[in-house]
Structure 1
Amino acid sequence: MRMRRDERDADVGVGPHPRPWPDDDRYDPVLLAEGDRRNVADRYRWWRHEAIVADLAATANPFHVAIENWRQDGNIGTVVRTANAFGAAGVHIVGRRSWNRRGAMVTDRYLDIRHHDDTDALVAWAAGEGLPLIGIDNLPGSVSIFDHPPPERAVLVMGQEGPGLTPAAKAAVDVILHIPQFGSTRSINAGVASGIAMAAWVRAHRTG
């Protein structure tokens, strides 16, 4: 398996696996022989890419994250990387198909990432899966995500940096949750907000 340049780092990971090698088809013979310098958790060292993807899909948390991308939001890479870290079942990009993958740090290769042309398409997909849409934005009438965490099965819908949720998204979500703030700024970065929202989900629905 050929690793991309931004995935190789001689200062991280592990070297060749000591002999005898594991008798397990999840392991990649090339990585076992040459070492594994990828940006993956230790439990996945020397595993084939396809095996990691399959294991993540099998053990994913039952929430998805959607983010609007009408103005080429540069935070999407951060959202994808964070969704990977919190074990999200998938990431949905609404609007523009193109986004800067650099911030994802190659984690996009391990996640189910889907594109929806507009909010109606996301709504139709979520309805077919029986998943409520939960907006994340600091709008009048919203409720604190700490007092009312998202349900276990849900799609967390993030507005893009600046304008926040679009009118179409506001109309589509079941409820809008906000992240309490105590400083002078009106809002926080969309990538940071997504991480706080996912952490609130984990705190409510996972232990350990």
Structure 2
Amino acid sequence: MSDRPREAQGPLPPEGADFCWGRHPVLTLLEETPQRCLKLYVAKGAAGEAVSRALDLCREASVSFQVVDVSVLKRLSPGVNHQGLLAQVSSVALIPCESYLDRLPSKGPVLILAVDHVQDPQNLGSMIRSAEVAGAEAVLLPMRRSALPTGTVMKVSAGAALRLPLLSVTNLSRTLKLLTQDHGFWSVGLDHRADRTLWQEPLPERCVLVVGSEGTGLSPLVAKGCDDRRRIPMHGGTGSLNVAVAASIGLFEWLRGVDKSSEGL
């Protein structure tokens, strides 16, 4: 396992996550449908041709992996012969972002939701559901340190995760730059530290709405890469909103602006 990519870190999969285990099944998954592999877990000390091949396939498909103690694999997949390899799989195929961008409408209002390291599958499912109802074209999902489309996400999204394109992203800051420079989008981050409010002026018609993680909000690099940052005005003593609620407010504020524009108001 020498000369391998840097090991991905982050939380272990949530309860109810789906897995593929064993060297041959995992290799088949990575060779034939790598877009369904959310993350590969490799037991410390695992070696051999199959393990090396699995890591090579991860490099090729930009699938993150994490080396963990063998006890972690046993806990995640009790009673199975994992052979040192365990892949977390999605019930829906994620689409590599760059391969999808040319399919986006080149004119007119277009909304994309970008999720910056949201951890809770319930929140992710709720945001995907709201994004579909608000008319978003797609959702951008970083592949590291983020909740990914597990069965819980599918259920909470009420099936929206099966209908709305979910685009996998390895570097969200770079993807935002690509969307703004080459595809005419304007990225707007929801950030409670921003000077301007969400209602101060209409959101752009070609908009990437960026929401941050629970607790910490937008990461510094992503916040810096946004063309604009807006805050949602709040009263009372709570001081913050659930990230899925904040995302919904931003999504429907964009839709309200588009509807007003189309009515000529």
TM-score class normalised by the smaller sequence: 0.5 to 0.7
Query: By how many angstroms is 1:160 displaced?
Result: 1.3
Counterpart pick for 1:120 among 170, 173, 195? 173
Structure 1 partner of 2:110: 62
Instruction: State yes or no: 1:83 paired with 2:131.
Output: yes
Query: By how many angstroms is 1:149 displaced?
Result: 2.8
Q: How does 1:119-158 map to 2 (within 5 A)?
A: 119-126=172-179, 127-139=181-193, 141-158=194-211
Helix, strand or coil at the partner of 2:116: strand
8 Å contact kept, 1:80–1:108: yes
**Deviations, residues 122-169 of structure 1 (Å, cap 9, x unaligned):** 224413322121111111x43111122311111000001111000011
Query: Which letter does structure 1 place at the counterpart of 2:219?
Result: T
Helix, strand or coil at the partner of 2:238: coil
The count of residues paired between Structure 1 and Structure 2 equals 150
Query: By how many angstroms is 1:121 displaced?
Result: 3.5
Please give the TM-score of this superposition, normalised by the length of structure 2. Answer: 0.52
Helix, strand or coil at the partner of 2:229: strand
Cα 1:83–1:70 shift into 2, 3 Å: closer
Q: How does 1:1-20 map to 2 (within 5 A)?
A: none
Counterpart pick for 2:219 among 154, 158, 166? 166
Please give the TM-score of this superposition, normalised by the length of structure 1. Answer: 0.65
Instruction: State yes or no: 1:110 paired with 2:158.
Output: no
Higher strand share: 2
8 Å contact kept, 2:123–2:243: yes
Structure 2 partner of 1:190: 243
2:128 and 2:178 map into 1 onto residues whose CA distance is 19
C-alpha RMSD over aligned residues: 2.2
Structure 2 partner of 1:93: 141
